[in-house]
Chain A
Amino acid sequence: MDLTETAAGLLRRLTEEHGPLMFHQSGGCCDGSAPMCYPAGEFRTGAADVHLGDLTVDGVAAPIPVWMSASQFEYWRHTHITIDVVPGRGAGFSLEAPEGMRFLTRSRLLTLEELGVLGDV
Chain B
Amino acid sequence: MVRYAAPGEAGSVVSFQPRYDHFIGGEYVPPAKGRYFENPTPVTGRTFTVVARGTAEDVDSAVRAADGAAAAWGRTSPAARSEVLNKIADRMEQHLEAIAVAESWENGKPVRETLAADIPLAIDHFRYFAGAIRAQEGSISQLDPDTVAYHFHEPLGVVGQIIPWNFPILMATWKLAPALAAGNTVVLKPAEQTPASIHVVLELIADLLPPGVVNVVNGFGVEAGKPLAQHRGVRKVAFTGETTTGRLIMQYASENIIPVTLELGGKSPNVFFRDVADARDAFYDKAQEGFAMFALNQGEVCTCPSRALIQSSIYSSFLADAIPRVERIRQGHPLDTETMIGAQASNDQLEKILSYIDIGKEEGARVLTGGERADLGGELSGGYYVRPTVFEGDNKMRIFQEEIFGPVLSVTKFDEYDDAIKIANDSLYGLGAGVWSRDGNTAYRAGREIQAGRVWTNCYHVYPAHAAFGGYKQSGIGRENHKMMLDHYQQTKNLLVSYAQNAQGFF
Contact = CB atoms under 8 A, between A and B. Distances in A.
A93 B221 contact: yes
B266 A29 contact: yes
B241 A27 contact: no
A75 B348 contact: no
Interface in B293-352: 300, 302, 346-349, 351-352
A9 interface: no
Interface residues of B, number: 53
Given A28-B475, A33-B402, A43-B251, A91 B222 contact: no
A82 to B, nearest CB: 10
Interface stretch (B242-250, B270-278, B488-496): B242-250
Given A24-B244, A79-B359, A29 B265 contact: yes
Main secondary structure, interface of B, reads mixed
A32 B403 contact: yes
Contacts of A36: 244-245
A13 to B, nearest CB: 14
A102 B402 contact: no
B396 interface: yes
A72 interface: yes
A88 B428 CA distance: 27
Interface of B: 37, 53, 164-166, 191-193, 220-223, 225-226, 240-248, 251, 263-266, 300, 302, 346-349, 351-352, 355-356, 358-359, 362-363, 396, 398, 401-405, 428-429, 474-475
Given A43-B251, A88-B351, A98-B53, 9 more contacts: A27-B242, A30-B165, A32-B241, A34-B242, A36-B244, A86-B351, A88-B347, A98-B220, A107-B359
Interface of A: 24-34, 36, 38, 42-44, 69, 71-72, 75-76, 79, 86-95, 97-98, 102, 104-109
Q: Closest 9 CB pairs between A and B?
A: A88-B348, A29-B265, A32-B242, A28-B265, A26-B244, A102-B348, A92-B245, A28-B242, A75-B401
